[in-house]
Structure 1
Amino acid sequence: MLMLFVPYHGEVGLEPWEYLVSFVYIMVLYIHFARKKRMNMKLHPEYKYYMSGLLARFFGGFIFCLIYLYYYPGGDSLAYFYSGVAVKRMLFIDPAEYFRQVIMGDNSARALATYASLKVLPYKYVFLDNRTFQAVRVSSILAVMTFNSYLISTVLMASISFAGVWACFRTFVSYFPKLVKRFSIAFLFMPSAIFWGSGIMKDTLTFSAVCGWVYAVDEVFFKRRNVVSRAVLILFCGLVMIQVKPYIFMVILPATLLWLFYFRIVRIRNIMIRFVLIPVISVAMVVLSVFVLKQMGDLLDKFALDEALYNIENIQGDMVSNTAYGDNKFDVGEFDGTWWGVLRKFPVATNAALFRPYLWESKSLVVALSGLENLFILILTIYVLLKAGVRFSLRCIASNPLLLMSMSFALLFAFVVGVSTPNFGALVRFKIPMLPFYMSSLFIILFLHKERKYARMKGIRFDLTKYRMGPGQVRKGAGQFADPVGRSAETSNHPNGHVYRT
């Protein structure tokens, strides 16, 4: 049996009992989630993809384990997990100290010194770093439930993180029910999201947190259901993002404010008032975002606005000059030390995050698979732009608050990741939070194009305002989801139940 040496733990690998016990865990989880599917299937047809999405996560987690144990011998994932195993030992020696570290988040030098008498120590560089320590905290809890098994812990991690992704998938389906199959591709079956979003990694935590945030915001401010519990979920997801990868929160916050403010603006019928309010509220939103992020400077640490420019230049320079990466890197060009110099990199950096590495730039198996995925995304992007046109695509984005939020988050996140991560290996991992939102945006634009095409065939004037809350919400009728514009006395009904103004 192949073994890997891990400091403080000796030789580790997948023992035969782990396969058996992990199968038992999967069967128990399968029965639980299958029951949930049966209970919801009649009222919510999207549950058709529930079990297949979950099994895809289990498969991704299993492959992730094999890759990190035998293809990449070691890596951050194993450092997080086995540091968590060491922390777990503290539970049985000094429970009060364990809860101080895991629940209260104490990763000080004093806390690390408490392991001096133990035979197993956490990795110092992982334990003392506030970002990576969050993965250690989660790993220690998983280790308690899985007999210190890396494989079984990954299975649990995959199932827990699936909750946020599934919730966000259902949010998009509630607005555009006819796109359930395409949204399942975007949220549940993108290969890189399945692989990098299922293992014991910081990316798994933040990916699920972003999706959970969007779901909870929609529940609180738009659907207005379970407001208290979903407000708590917003705070929890925001805290996860801030503590693990603050730059994700720095992107999702302005995108969310744009979503909320723009929804209010597009409901105003008076064109003159809208014309005046849009620039005023846009400026106010930018000022509010900057103010909030500046006030959170201590929490954001090196990602705080005051230090962001300096750190972007340093990260870019260090990774580009590091010969250890070989050809597995790209260069967006030199920076001139100003924010304008960074913003000028938007086209090349965003292109890199969305579509690179190209297939011919792949230097390893994992990156090559990502290259195939990127080729699919590039082809789909070109197809949508050719079919719908740039002008209509922009009209769609400007007319639908959910689409505006989704595309703005995807593009801004792609820029931030692309400008600060000139390494393909890291890039394919860092960009997974924006993948489902970018893909879903393309699918929505293509859907609206087809709706317009159908309307023209019937000689009906196509009205984008009918899709401000998505056809799924328009069909709910009166109440909080009623059409904000109001329906004309004369309407023409689409075979799918969609309504056009005549």
Structure 2
Amino acid sequence: MIPLFYVQYHGDVGIKYWEYMLSLLYLLYFYLYFTRHKNMRLKEAPEYRYYILGLMAKMLGGLAFSLVYFYYYQGGDALTFFLGGVAMRNLALIDPIEYLRQMLGDNSFQSWSAYTYETAKPFKYVFFDDRTFAVIRASSVLALLTFNSFLISNLMIASLSYFGIWACYRTYVSYFPQLAGKLAIGFLYMPSSIFWGSAILKDTFTFSAVCWWVHSIDELFFKRRGAVSMWFAVIVSTLVMIAMKPYIFMIMFPMTILWLMYFRVVRLRNALVKFVIVPLAAVLVISISFFVLMRLGSSLDKFALDGALETIQVTQGDMVNATRYGTNSFDVGQIDGSWTSVLSKFPVATNAALFRPYIWESNNFVMALSGLENLWVLGLSLYTLYVAGPRFFIRASLGIPILMMSISFALFFAFMVGVTTPNFGALVRFKIPMVPFYISSLFIIIYLAKLKRKRLNQGLRFDLKGYRMGTAFLLEEEKSGTGPEKQRQRNGRGNRK
């Protein structure tokens, strides 16, 4: 091994030659094993054609992240978390009881004192922070399994986190199977999600947790299957979000309640009943969300409802510090400590999270890649508005339950990240949980707009109410010969006779 740099408590740090060899074997094994799995499922689930490419992209993203942060940045949060995990792993070999106690969440000063120069020490600023300590604990398990290899640990977490994303992707495909390829772009192939969501970072864990949450809720309440396993997934994903990034749960939970309520409301046919039920449902959504978030106050810590405003103001003020971030920061404007002031930043903050840094704001290679991706996202957004028109865009977003949840989550999440993270380096990383939902929503709206135009040109009726549960039924109609195309062909043959 050629040492790359020196780290306090840990000495010279580098990537050993055997790590590269083992990483290649790991990639090869996963490719061969899951190719077999893909081939077994491909006939009954055509979307599996994208399975291996998505997995390999995720694992190569983890490999790329490791190399960039070793050779280009020479450090970073991921390495700090990993080295903290290595220290915990060393502690496990010397004092297993103390290790288990810390794995249960004890990060007191007494616990930190258990570390010696023999075990190495976690950095205090990540050990004593409950959010980052959760990542250290997870990293310690990886260190035990990967022989203290940063490279292989990132490959492992990249592959494990992929399965939650894949599950959520399949959920959307179950509603819109005609868009399997387009949805794969949103969920599996977005460069920012691949790069920032494939390493030992809070973002990797929470991104996968969000995807598991959406998939599990759909399976439990809409598909009504897999009760035990799906409830387990809901519980674990909730714990991960609250442990690492509580604000994600604070946004996702109300959007989920809205999704469930709205699905019931839109199925009502009586207009008078809807007129009465809709306001009651809105009050119920707000009340349930408020009650649950208040009950979770101690778990949410500084993100609890009674302290959220102060947290937003302090975080925004810290991260906009030009002396620390220089030209890599942007300003959404002054926040004076009132909710009115925060909400007034919605347009500029949401725009920043969705589309910035612009390509001309990028000042290094990694930011330039993010700028190119954001340029594409901006172009796709404008194209969606052009194809669908503002009116149909809004109608589709409000008329289809899963689309309404996706758009709402993406926009509110973008606002939260944008208003608290006026720093491009953190912004491109923090926003990845909303990226697949936003991109997939755009593709769905484009498809529905084109489908509407096609049916109207054929002299057929188009009503969004018929697509509230997606467009999977269109494939069934085509297979059974009851679709409009088949009927027109039969009518044409009958007329010729």
TM-score by length of 2: 0.94
Aligned to 2:390: 390
2:303 is the alignment partner of 1:303: yes
2:4 is the alignment partner of 1:3: yes
Aligned to 1:65: 66
SS of residue in 2 equivalent to 1:357: coil
Aligned to 1:485: none
Aligned to 1:270: 270
The Cα shift of 1:461 comes to 1.2
Report the AA paired with residue 51 of structure 1. I
2 CA distance for matches of 1:4 and 1:260? 52
SS of residue in 1 equivalent to 2:28: helix
The Cα shift of 1:73 comes to 1.5
The Cα shift of 1:115 comes to 1.1
2 CA distance for matches of 1:113 and 1:396? 57
1 CA distance for matches of 2:195 and 2:221? 32
Aligned to 1:468: 468
Aligned to 1:493: 484
2 CA distance for matches of 1:319 and 1:404? 31
Deviation track 1:21-67 (CA, whole Å, cap 9, x = no partner) reads 11122222222222221221110011101110011011111110011
Report the AA paired with residue 284 of structure 1. L
SS of residue in 2 equivalent to 1:31: helix
CA contact (8 A) 2:161 2:205 kept: yes
Report the AA paired with residue 44 of structure 2. L
The Cα shift of 1:293 comes to 0.8
1 CA distance for matches of 2:24 and 2:58? 14
The Cα shift of 1:280 comes to 1.9
Q: How many residues align?
A: 483
CA contact (8 A) 2:219 2:225 kept: yes
Matches within 5 A, 1:232-271: 232-271=232-271
How well do the aligned residues superpose, as a CA RMSD in angstroms?
Answer: 1.6
SS of residue in 2 equivalent to 1:237: helix
SS of residue in 2 equivalent to 1:232: helix
Aligned to 1:336: 336
Matches within 5 A, 1:134-173: 134-173=134-173
SS of residue in 2 equivalent to 1:460: coil
Matches within 5 A, 1:35-434: 35-102=36-103, 104-116=104-116, 118-434=118-434
> How has the CA–CA distance of structure 1 residues 278 and 112 changed in structure 2, closer, same or farther, with 3 Å as cutoff?
same
Report the AA paired with residue 196 of structure 1. W
Aligned to 2:435: 435
SS of residue in 1 equivalent to 2:328: coil
2 CA distance for matches of 1:96 and 1:373? 47
SS of residue in 2 equivalent to 1:470: coil
CA contact (8 A) 1:168 1:215 kept: yes
The Cα shift of 1:297 comes to 0.8
CA contact (8 A) 1:174 1:473 kept: no
2 CA distance for matches of 1:387 and 1:494? 23
1 CA distance for matches of 2:428 and 2:58? 17
SS of residue in 1 equivalent to 2:218: helix
Structure 1 stretches of 5 or more lacking a match?
478-490, 498-502
The Cα shift of 1:216 comes to 0.5
- Over the matched positions of the two proteins, sequence identity in percent amounts to 55
Aligned to 1:24: 25
Deviation track 1:202-254 (CA, whole Å, cap 9, x = no partner) reads 10000000001000000111101111110111010011000000000001001
The Cα shift of 1:201 comes to 0.7
Report the AA paired with residue 411 of structure 1. L
CA contact (8 A) 2:42 2:48 kept: yes
The Cα shift of 1:402 comes to 0.3
Structure 2 stretches of 5 or more lacking a match?
489-497
Q: Is 117-126 or 327-336 further displaced after alignment? A: 117-126
Report the AA paired with residue 33 of structure 2. H
2 CA distance for matches of 1:364 and 1:447? 36
SS of residue in 2 equivalent to 1:49: helix
2 CA distance for matches of 1:284 and 1:458? 42
> How has the CA–CA distance of structure 1 residues 262 and 137 changed in structure 2, closer, same or farther, with 3 Å as cutoff?
same
CA contact (8 A) 1:413 1:434 kept: yes
CA contact (8 A) 1:396 1:445 kept: yes
> How has the CA–CA distance of structure 1 residues 31 and 99 changed in structure 2, closer, same or farther, with 3 Å as cutoff?
farther
The Cα shift of 1:275 comes to 2.2
CA contact (8 A) 1:4 1:11 kept: yes
1 CA distance for matches of 2:190 and 2:166? 13
More helix by share: 2
CA contact (8 A) 1:460 1:492 kept: no
Q: Once superposed, which parts of structure 1, at least 4 consecutive aligned residues long, lie more than 3 Å away?
A: 116-119, 473-477, 494-497
2 CA distance for matches of 1:213 and 1:268? 27
Aligned to 1:487: none
Report the AA paired with residue 484 of structure 2. N
> How has the CA–CA distance of structure 1 residues 88 and 473 changed in structure 2, closer, same or farther, with 3 Å as cutoff?
farther
The Cα shift of 1:494 comes to 4.6
SS of residue in 2 equivalent to 1:327: helix
2 CA distance for matches of 1:210 and 1:23? 30
Deviation track 1:109-140 (CA, whole Å, cap 9, x = no partner) reads 22111113734111121111110011111111
SS of residue in 2 equivalent to 1:5: strand
Report the AA paired with residue 9 of structure 2. Y
1 CA distance for matches of 2:306 and 2:486? 54
2 CA distance for matches of 1:367 and 1:356? 10
The Cα shift of 1:276 comes to 2.1
